Structure 1
Amino acid sequence: MHGEPAYAAGFEHFDYVNPDAPKGGILRLGVVANGYDSFNPYVIGTVSAVGVGAYVYDTLLVKSSDEPFSAYGLIAESLETPEDRSYVVFNLREQARFQDGEPITAEDVKFSFELLTTEGHPLFRNYYGDVRAVTVEGPHRVRFDFKETENRELPLILGQLPVLPQHYWQDRTFGDNGLTAPVGSGPYRIGDFDAGRSITFTRVDDYWAADLGVRRGKFNFDRIHYDYYTDETVALEAFKSGDYDFRRESSAKSWATAYTGTPFEQGRIVVEELEHHKPMGMQAFVINSRRPQFADPRVRRALAMAFDFEWANTNLFYGQYTRTDSYFENSDLASSGLPDGRELEILEGYRDQLPDAVFESEYHPPTTNGPNGLRANLRKAVELFKEAGFEIRNRKMVHVATGEPLTFEFLLRSKTFERIALPFKANLAKLGIDAEVRLVDTTQYVQRVRRFDFDVVSLVIAQSDSPGNEQREFWGSYNVDVVGSRNYAGVSDPVVDDLVEQIIQAPDRQELVYRTRALDRVLLHGHYVIPQWHMTMDRVAYWSKLERPEALPKDGFDLDTWWIDPDAE
């Protein structure tokens, strides 16, 4: 994206893989969800089986996991783009093949782009909205011309385009393929499956890209099998019993208390905390500002006063977490202190459209450390509600003008999160606010979130080390009512829109950092979310037949680089 890539042309393999890793065996994994009804991860309205996008389809380029944003050729052997990046030409590898043996051509690339941006998930239309024209210039040469834009990221993100076979899809309805296994181009094809309960991916023996530098040392398992579980506790016990091989733990309580017993004592199950240096994004209670009761940022800020992170970290999380205070946590993109220098210069252009707090106070989520703790926060919350036109009547927080009580619902899909939401609910009750906690199955949860049919939901807004087009999807006002967009909070702010475009047009890394920090600061002071927590390591446990490379990339471990020790198995 900026500067030169770390790997030279023709490199043999990434530094974080074992190029001599043995092939073979089966990797068994567990996923907690209420099943699936589709093998199409690229449309809205269905729940795709886990792994289809990652294993079945190849892309034009592949991202390196130890650089901010560098991409290397997979289906594309080379690319051409001018200094102003106003277009990009991809030259495809002649040996690239779909899994039925048909060659991957420039016509397939054009077809995939047009199909995904017209019939695919809305994110494709947003992601590739600056493409003006797609031209096939030869059997293995395709050109993308861009609108009048300074979107320097487009050549790289077009490289993320999954390439679908035109000969397979042209006579089929894209959104109605259901559980018919599609023809892909990736390292695995769909094998056996039990609809909604399990799925097995089988390694393609004659995978066309197996010896490329971007693939060597990866995809070492003959089969990858997923079993679906509807309950986290059941899934954990199944892992400990040997029903599957690898588990990434998200519960601090389970990590502190549940990973004990004979297999651990004998070393048959390995427990590790693997450090990473990737941006953590924002895990938070996301407040749907489309709802009338949440339209005022003072209300959203007041709600945050009732969340006691310090109590939760001590009593529920065994002190394992750090409070998040940036949308770009754990990176140089995160804002801090008061704005100054170039960041202040950027924000000054919007001073009359921004709250004074952006310039005058450093953002920190409310804390209960210090004298009076939660009580002081709740008093501040009452003041904010009063400023926003609310008051307490008969122990209920009501709107002064309408008399309507302030009520809302936490929408959850994991029972584990009830233990976080219920104490929050109790604190809100002290303010006269009735908050219900509703637990629904995965399918209902996904559909409601896609339609923005929620009041408050717990989500992770993931970020990369090179933010760009995806910021439109997160914050763009043009997405606020687009079903399936990732603007979960309902952000509709011309300043945010403008800052997002500035990020996309950043001419170099340093300017990208300044512009991203400015966006971060504006979003934080908009109080669209109640920040939760993060940690800069992955908690993993796995049966000892699994081996992994010693080197870990900046972005953290990659299970696709692991392998099975035949002797240990």
Structure 2
Amino acid sequence: MRASVLLMAALAASPALASEPVPTRHALALYGEPALPADFAHFPHADPDAPSGGSLVRGATGSFDSTNPFIIQGTPASGLTAIYDTLMVGNPDEPFTMYGLLAEGIRLGPDRQWIEFDLHPEARFHDGHPVDADDVVFSFETLTGKGQPFYGAYYADVTEVRALDEDTVRFELADSESRELPLILGQMPVLPAHYWEDHDFERPTRDALLGSGPYRIAQVDPGRRIVYERVADYWGRDLPVNRGRHNIERLVFDYYRDQTVALEAFKAGNLDLRIETSARNWATAYDFPAADAGFVERLEVPDGQPAGMQAYVMNLRRAKFQDVRVREALNLAFDFDWLNQHLFYGAYERTHSYFENSPMAADGLPGEAELALLEPHRDALPARVFDEPLPVDHPQDMRERLRKALGLLREAGYRHREDGTLVDAETGEPLRLEVLLFDTQFERVVQPLLRNLARLGIQGDIRIVDVNQYLNRLRTFDFDVVVGSFPQSANPGNEQREFWGSEYADAPQSRNLIGLESPVIDDLVDDLIAADSREALDTAAQALDRVLRWGFYVIPQWHLDKTRIAIWDKFGWREPFPEYNLDLDAWWIEPERAAEIEARQRNR
């Protein structure tokens, strides 16, 4: 049945295909060819002889009340992706190449306007039910129709999905020329249609949901702990993309009020692994008896991805942030050098670009190729986009910076009252802002910015709330300023719509935290998505980056080109680490070392 259906589909797609059938592939690369051949045995960084067993206990911050990570409602638990398989899976040692997982074979139309996936005949959900094409269709329609806004943005250029037979699903793609769309369709988690017939997908739940992945939910203690156990009869265990991975028997996420408490739990041996985000902690907090005795190891794993943008995000839905001069003035009040010297132990580099640490970052004046994208929008853009080089030339001396900031604020219509408060000259309203946080650890980082704002007469406050309240306020965009991040891969694409796209400015729980509604930016995002070469992608990203940076929508913070990991020394892994992404799924527990550490903990 499959052969005849595929032949008819190929003939319908293009008459030329009758003489040139579309080949079935094992993998797709965004540019060029996959690095690994069809008969590869395992990913190079995975060890097929790794031992299995043991537990990995990690910390999570705050709380959770749902095991459904795909919907707007509820706060999902950590680690839930482990229970779901996707059509394809990425090789973390390549910039963007996807290899078959649930999909045994992949056919991509020569014009990239359709893609077909042949499902693996052995693919099963944890209840033994086969994974079939109807499950894929259900998953796509459910995620894009009822899931978080992310899915609608990510898969916006899919015009139709249908099951050709039990084992084959076909996606029709719009004329957007998005090179990445066929690959990111492979990232879609496949949900069991038969399970959700009797469950409400849009309501939060604490049930152990059904998946087809290497782990299942074993224990749910709402707000405190979630435990995953390795599936003994996991259908995909011996696939090349899985061989030597998913070695650890139990994955545990314990929840703590904040990072300070979680750090103490790690030092006490209650957590096995900690990804450290604090430069101060990395420099000072790991001098304790177990570490001195050699039971704790610290790693700095290079990160080959662009640094992306971590920043103070200003909410344009608030009238006070709609004047670019106000936003630039707030940027001028941020003193990174002081923070890096006094709080960060010199560990960080200042972030300037939304594609920092990559060729996609704009620099200097726009070149000829970049101008070709910007010129159609000249009338809608400030002249400095074309005439002034990046990075922005702001004074280094803080007094000079604040003097320039005050000048911008006066141009924007603000004046000082007799008591020194900066107010709108027309309404008399003070200029004040609130920074919303959920982690007390960041409070000391925000305070220096607020002190500088106070020197300008701006009233600034910090509001610390619990994680659930924080997420609810983010969902409804109820904030002045938050610490947000816009992570980037080496191959940005459809996700940029949700970051900056006008249609997501008011979509609850979208990642357009800024509230951008700009036809120019919308067009530049389309240019990036449609890029048909590495050079074109870099140019489109540079144009988008340049326009975003001259808008001063955020106050860029800092970045580090590595991941800091502290572990109790019971893990094994194969080196070198993958170039582009850390893959903890390829780690394992060393039984003898784990037993030694457990004995030490018992005898303390």
**Would you say same fold, with TM above 0.5?**
yes
- Give CA-to-partner distance per residue, 1:148-205, whole Å, 9 cap, x none: 3222222111111110001100121102251111110000000023211011100001
- Give CA-to-partner distance per residue, 1:433-454, whole Å, 9 cap, x none: 1011000111111111111111
Partner of residue 151 from structure 2, selected from 119, 124, 132? 124
The equivalent of 2:70 in structure 1 is 42
**Paired amino acid for 1:379:** R
- Note the 1:114-193 alignment, pairs <5 A: 114-176=141-203, 178-193=205-220
Matches of 1:21 and 1:359, distance apart in 2? 55
**Structure 1 residue 334, shift from structure 2 partner:** 1.1
Q: For residue 567 of structure 1, give the secondary structure of its aligned residue in structure 2.
A: helix
The equivalent of 2:322 in structure 1 is 295
The equivalent of 2:7 in structure 1 is none
Partner of residue 358 from structure 1, selected from 381, 385, 407? 385
Q: 1:246 and 2:273 equivalent?
A: yes
Q: For residue 466 of structure 1, give the secondary structure of its aligned residue in structure 2.
A: coil
**Paired amino acid for 1:222:** E
Please provide the CA RMSD for this pair.
Answer: 1.2
Matches of 1:233 and 1:365, distance apart in 2? 36
Matches of 1:196 and 1:116, distance apart in 2? 25
**Structure 1 residue 498, shift from structure 2 partner:** 0.3
- Give CA-to-partner distance per residue, 1:359-407, whole Å, 9 cap, x none: 22233367664xxx11101100011111212122221111122221111
Matches of 1:353 and 1:16, distance apart in 2? 49
The equivalent of 1:280 in structure 2 is 307
**TM-score, normalised to structure 1's length?**
0.97
For the 8 Å contact 2:65–2:204, the answer to whether it is kept is no
Q: For residue 415 of structure 2, give the secondary structure of its aligned residue in structure 1.
A: strand
Partner of residue 417 from structure 2, selected from 369, 378, 393? 393
For the 8 Å contact 1:309–1:367, the answer to whether it is kept is no
- Note the 1:33-72 alignment, pairs <5 A: 33=62, 35-53=63-81, 55-72=82-99
My pick for the range that moved more, 536-545 or 343-352, is 343-352
Q: For residue 507 of structure 1, give the secondary structure of its aligned residue in structure 2.
A: coil
Q: In 2 relative to 1, CA 419–367 (structure 1 residues): closer, same or farther, beyond 3 Å? A: farther
Q: In 2 relative to 1, CA 366–199 (structure 1 residues): closer, same or farther, beyond 3 Å? A: farther
**Paired amino acid for 2:525:** V
**Structure 1 residue 39, shift from structure 2 partner:** 0.5
- Give CA-to-partner distance per residue, 1:480-508, whole Å, 9 cap, x none: 11111100011111111001001111111
The equivalent of 2:38 in structure 1 is 9
Task: Give structure 2 stretches of 5+ with no counterpart.
Answer: 1-29, 595-604
Matches of 1:323 and 1:336, distance apart in 2? 15
Q: For residue 199 of structure 2, give the secondary structure of its aligned residue in structure 1.
A: coil
For the 8 Å contact 1:198–1:228, the answer to whether it is kept is yes
**Paired amino acid for 1:227:** D
Q: For residue 460 of structure 2, give the secondary structure of its aligned residue in structure 1.
A: strand
Matches of 1:535 and 1:125, distance apart in 2? 31
For the 8 Å contact 1:310–1:367, the answer to whether it is kept is no
Q: 1:493 and 2:518 equivalent?
A: yes
For the 8 Å contact 1:366–1:377, the answer to whether it is kept is no
My pick for the range that moved more, 345-354 or 255-264, is 345-354
- Note the 1:212-251 alignment, pairs <5 A: 212-251=239-278
**Structure 1 residue 77, shift from structure 2 partner:** 0.9
**Structure 1 residue 229, shift from structure 2 partner:** 0.4
**Structure 1 residue 341, shift from structure 2 partner:** 2.7
Q: 1:344 and 2:355 equivalent?
A: no
The equivalent of 2:496 in structure 1 is 471
Matches of 1:286 and 1:523, distance apart in 2? 12
For the 8 Å contact 2:364–2:391, the answer to whether it is kept is no
Matches of 1:217 and 1:292, distance apart in 2? 54
Q: In 2 relative to 1, CA 291–155 (structure 1 residues): closer, same or farther, beyond 3 Å? A: same
**Paired amino acid for 1:2:** Y
The equivalent of 1:462 in structure 2 is 487
**Paired amino acid for 2:246:** F
Matches of 2:90 and 2:415, distance apart in 1? 53
Q: In 2 relative to 1, CA 218–368 (structure 1 residues): closer, same or farther, beyond 3 Å? A: farther
- Give CA-to-partner distance per residue, 1:204-229, whole Å, 9 cap, x none: 01111111111111111010111100
% identical aligned pairs: 50
Matches of 2:222 and 2:392, distance apart in 1? 43
Matches of 2:175 and 2:535, distance apart in 1? 23
For the 8 Å contact 1:17–1:551, the answer to whether it is kept is no
**TM-score, normalised to structure 2's length?**
0.92
The equivalent of 1:208 in structure 2 is 235
The equivalent of 1:429 in structure 2 is 454
Q: For residue 391 of structure 2, give the secondary structure of its aligned residue in structure 1.
A: coil
The equivalent of 2:113 in structure 1 is 86
Matches of 2:528 and 2:394, distance apart in 1? 31
**Paired amino acid for 2:190:** V
Matches of 1:191 and 1:126, distance apart in 2? 33
- Give CA-to-partner distance per residue, 1:81-135, whole Å, 9 cap, x none: 1122111111110111101111000000001111111111111112112111111
For the 8 Å contact 1:99–1:185, the answer to whether it is kept is yes
Matches of 1:271 and 1:128, distance apart in 2? 39
Matches of 1:499 and 1:361, distance apart in 2? 19
